[in-house]
Amino acid sequence: MSIQLAAIDYVILCTYFVFVIGIGWALKRYMKGSTDFFLSGRSIPAWVTGLAFLSANLGAQEVIGMAASGAKYGAMTSHFYWVGAIPAMVFLAIFMMPFYYGSRARSVPEYLKLRFDEKTRGFNAISFAVMTIFSSGISLHALAKLLEILLGWNYDACIAISASIVLVYIFLGGLTSAIYNEVLQFFMIVLGFSPLVYLALKDVGGWAALKEKLIPVATSQGFEAGTWSASWAHLGSTTANPMGVEWFGMVMGLGFVLSFGYWCTDFLVVQRAMAANSMSAARRTPLIAAVPKMLFPILVILPGMIAIALYQGGDKFLPFVDHDPAKGIDYNMTIPMMLVKYFPAGLLGVGFTALMASFMSGMAGNVTAFNTVWTYDIYQSYIAPKKSDNHYLWMGRWATVFGILVSVGAAYLASKFNNIMDMLQLVFGFVNAPLFATFLLGMFWRRSTGHGAFFGLVGGTVGAALFHGLALSKGAAVGIKGGWLAHTLGLQTLPFPFHSEMAQNFWMAIVAWTSCFVLTIVISLATVRNKTDEELKGLVYSLTPKPKSENEPWYQQPVTVGILVLAATVVLNILFW
């Protein structure tokens, strides 16, 4: 499958690397203290933080994974955007950013310390630091493996070059360098993939012709004719769509628990908004990101849908997993193979550079979030408090080196022991699912206590693990995919059978969130408040003066823009119902 890039492709790739490192170099002289390095001195304009907010999420999972899902599930993949992202981004902008930004917390775990107590912060900081660095490693492994398969490049060299470039520009320019490069990467991805959408759609004969060509894709798998080109019409039951999910699991599991848990509490994305130069800019950050986000399905899902339509029509350009027809199509190769199919030398260089940019922006986002949480929430809190600001700047730089080295180690771990990474991601799922319940109660219920938050989080995590042990999707083996507790207890029938692994994950999130929510309320009512109303000012909705935006033009008012964004999302959902 090895593809030869032309000299012009390498020139484009190298030019991009020079600019990325050049931005880091140019920003080095502005890094005078730890606030500059970790928080960009809170000086970045809204349009930059907005595009960086989106780009930090544009990692490997987004570009490669969503195109793969577009081929595998069709237009239903748009739920990851129009249900699983936009509402949460609007909620973050209107209701949550005033607390994150106004409390002057330097990180999300630090907000938990101010709102609840030290043990809740510690639980979140340590689990987040471990998760981000392993996510970074998984992203690095995916990039190196892709380049090895597609271009025949050496796996070790791919790891070394990618990791070194990210290390250099973050070491030099800290969060500002990561944010500025994420904006560069955003434009690279949009301008690199746009011609692909145009050429592929032209080749297939336009949207109406694509819908026609997707009919045999659906009927050959036993679904109704329009299943691949509709997003909501076939969510009535789990057997009516390829995702194996029904509407309640989709709306509550993905649209509420997982989506709000990620977009509203994950420091990786929230950190971008916290670097904005004013409260108004911080609140506009997720809204600015929401506009391109709602259009991204055109850029990443549509090529996947076109690829499977062409494949079904006889153009067998997609490879099999491990070249074994018995294992089925390797959907993760959809975007790379589409680039190779339509792009000549020259534009192919732009396309591959965009692909590398997506991997690197995801990795850089993880590393900058890690170095901040490590330095402020772990090192300064538990290991070396009361040191000079210069000391923490020094530690931040070395945390970047350490983070990159651990990412490289995690990448090699993923290449040798795939099951370990599956296991780690499963545990991360247990920890992440209940998080939003803690934040929701913390921000909107002044009676919630530190004990309630901590034991609620632990209870939610345990609840997720127990549910996983009692649930299993159709055709999956007992073990890492679930069912292990039912097997251990010798149960004859599985308490929670699911039609698909995705449905199982959505419901696991619902159970974890509900466990955490109920436990936090019960334990809070049974324990004494550990914060006075005075201490909670700026941290709880009812005790915080509302930020005013009446004097700003309508397009800078978060509530007005948020309503417009939600209305546009509803229209998109109706158009592709």
Partner 1 sequence: MNFDLRLPIGLMFSLFGLLLTAYGALTRSSKIYERSLGINVNFWWGLALLVFGGTMLLLAWRASKQPKT
Chain contacts with partner 1 (rule: CB under 8 A): 8, 11-12, 15-16, 19, 22-23, 26-27, 30, 41, 43, 48, 176, 180, 183-184, 187, 191, 195, 199, 202-203, 341-347, 350
- Least distance in angstroms from the C-beta of 48 to partner 1: 6
Residue with Cβ nearer partner 1 (5 or 568): 5
Least gap, CB of 24 to partner 1 (angstroms): 11
DSSP per-residue codes, 372-407: HIIIIIIIIIIISTT--HHHHHHHHHHHHHHHHHHH
Give me the least distance between CB of 195 and partner 1, in Å please: 5
472, β-bridge pairs: 497
What is d(CA 202, CA 123) in angstroms, rounded to the nearest whole number? 51
Choice between 204 and 413, CB closer to partner 1:
204
- Shorter beta-carbon distance to partner 1: residue 342 or 467: 342
DSSP 417-432: -HHHHHHHHHHHHHHH
Query: How would you write 151-182 as a 3-class SS string?
Result: HCCCHHHHHHHHHHHHHHHHHHHHHHHHHHHH
Find out whether 260 and 96 touch, Cβ atoms under 8 Å: no
User: Can you tell me the distance from the alpha carbon of 205 to that of 65, in angstroms, rounded to the nearest whole number?
Assistant: 25
Least separation, in Å, of the C-beta of 350 and partner 1? 7
Smallest distance from the beta carbon of 315 to partner 1, in angstroms? Answer: 12
Minimum CB–partner distance for residue 551 and partner 1 (Å): 18
Q: How far is the CB of 399 from partner 1 (least distance, A)?
A: 23
Cβ closest to partner 1, residue 15 vs residue 530: 15
Task: Find where tokens 């959408």 sit.
Answer: 197
562: Cβ–Cβ under 8 A, 6 or more apart, which residues?
Answer: 90, 93, 94, 287
249 in Cβ contact with 425 (< 8 Å)? no
Question: From the CB of 419, what's the least distance to partner 1, in Å?
Answer: 39
Q: What is the DSSP letter of 452?
A: H
Q: How far is the CB of 23 from partner 1 (least distance, A)?
A: 6
The residue (of 333 and 431) whose beta carbon lies closer to partner 1 is 333
* Nearest residue (CB) to partner 1, 20 versus 431: 20
Closest approach, Cβ 345 to partner 1, in A, equals: 6
Kindly calculate the radius of gyration of the chain based on its CA atoms and give it in whole angstroms: 23
For partner 1, give the closer residue by CB, 2 or 492.
2
Q: Taking the complex as a whole, how short is the minimal distance between the CB of residue 343 and partner 1, in angstroms?
A: 7
Residue 41 vs 483, nearer CB to partner 1: 41
Owner of token pair 């070396």 = 384
Q: Which is nearer to partner 1, 73 or 342 (CB)?
A: 342
Q: How many CB atoms lie within 10 A of CB 542?
A: 10
- Look at residues 127, 197, 221, 142 and name the one whose alpha carbon lies nearest to residue 458: 127
Residue placing its CB nearer to partner 1 in the complex, 18 or 526: 18
Rama region for 152: left / alpha / beta (φ>0; ψ in -120 to 50; rest): left
Q: At 508, which amino acid appears? A: M
N residues, the chain: 577
Three-state DSSP at 39 gives helix
CB of 334 to partner 1, least distance (A): 17
- The Cα 182–Cα 275 span in angstroms is 14
Longest dimension (CA), the chain: 69
3-state secondary structure of 44: strand
Which CB atom, from 53 or from 232, has the smaller least distance to partner 1?
A: 53
Backbone angles phi, psi at 320, to 5 degrees: -90, 160
Contact 257, 436 (CB under 8 A): yes
Q: Which two tokens stand for residue 9?
A: 């492709």
Shorter beta-carbon distance to partner 1: residue 19 or 207: 19
Q: Please, what is the end-to-end C-alpha distance for the chain in angstroms?
A: 38
